[in-house]
Structure 1
């Protein structure tokens, strides 16, 4: 499948991780690892070979459930996934993995396209969930977790999720 250019309302972020591509890809591709670094995803459950249900902690403590499916995967290169809502309501992610300069380093590049285009981006920002900042913070936490084994960056995360006293600590 060819990769179209990101929509003008998509957000992008990148990070370089001091781990080999195969390790970073394998960790990310195990979607049950997502709650370990995504700021608002609390639980991910596999529902099929390429489908998952995740629970998100939304604004005002509201818990939202959503189903996602992997729509394309190229081992050690790319994971494309989306919510399973009606086409106009789908969030879509493209995560690319590539060797970075230096031995054993990986460049991770994520593109998020939200429903409702620019209006969707603005609405999320007004609710305190700015997509560009959240995407960058999520990748920083992925880097921390894979390089140090722990997450200390709490920007754009559910309060207490990664700090002392957080669930699972």
Structure 2
């Protein structure tokens, strides 16, 4: 094991720019590669086709673990060991006082009125809520619980999914007065954290542009909704 550690460490110092695997995943890849390679060698005569497949996979896993670089990860956009996340930031000005906009947004049940990617938001109590995300073409829905993490009346609302939620997400909206009376600038930041591993990296690569477009459209919908409304609707 000491030799293995030295080999991996030596390569990491020589080529850190291409490392996109963390240590636990690298060790698992090496161990799995050794086991699969041994199995392939043992059964090379009794099951040559299966054994050749195992040996090929073993070589890939060993290379993946020893170098710390995964070609599949790189192809889906994961080029470092940093966690994959989807961050969307957008701003818009709305011809409404910030207190009105804050009051409307703080009633979280209102969010699906302009956020098309949300199927529903149900308030469980004053700080807790259950969110349901509507995926494209309405192929499925994903639900998770969240809680308000910061609340400054008239100025800021921040929320986060609870630990262990199906989807790890955080969000923040800030309401800022502009020099023009009755006009508010809002800053919105929403982050999604896909699952770890290749599936998560693939999902992040594929849905990052999709989520960015959805959130930007939703904030523009918020502007249109508020500009056209003469009174604030109250969710039942």
Q: Same fold (TM over 0.5)?
A: yes
How far did 1:125 drift? 5.6
The structure that has the greater radius of gyration is: 2
Q: How many residues align?
A: 143
- Aligned partners of 1:18 and 1:106 also within 8 Å: yes
Partner of 1:91: 169
Higher strand share: 1
Q: Does 1:146 align with 2:226?
A: yes
How far did 1:69 drift? 0.8
Partner of 1:35: 112
Question: How far apart in 2 are the matches of 1:131 and 1:13?
Answer: 12
Question: How far apart in 2 are the matches of 1:37 and 1:121?
Answer: 29
**Could you give the per-residue CA deviations for residues 6-35 of structure 1, whole angstroms, max 9, x where no partner exists?**
xx9632100000000000010011001011
- Aligned partners of 1:9 and 1:114 also within 8 Å: yes
Q: Does 1:17 align with 2:97?
A: no
**Could you give the per-residue CA deviations for residues 29-61 of structure 1, whole angstroms, max 9, x where no partner exists?**
100101101111122211122011122212452
Backbone CA RMSD of aligned residues: 2.9
Tell me the TM-score normalized by structure 1.
Answer: 0.73
More contact order relative to length (CA 8 Å, sep ≥ 6)? 1
Runs (5+) with no aligned partner, structure 2: 1-84, 231-236
Q: Label 1:59 to 1:127 Cα distance change in 2 as closer, same or farther (>3 A).
A: farther
Question: How far apart in 2 are the matches of 1:129 and 1:10?
Answer: 10
- Aligned partners of 1:59 and 1:128 also within 8 Å: no
Higher helix share: 2
Question: How far apart in 1 are the matches of 2:86 and 2:169?
Answer: 12
Q: Label 1:9 to 1:129 Cα distance change in 2 as closer, same or farther (>3 A).
A: closer
Q: Label 1:9 to 1:66 Cα distance change in 2 as closer, same or farther (>3 A).
A: closer
Question: How far apart in 1 are the matches of 2:88 and 2:208?
Answer: 16
Q: Label 1:122 to 1:10 Cα distance change in 2 as closer, same or farther (>3 A).
A: farther
- Aligned partners of 2:86 and 2:208 also within 8 Å: no
How far did 1:129 drift? 6.2
Q: Label 1:40 to 1:9 Cα distance change in 2 as closer, same or farther (>3 A).
A: closer
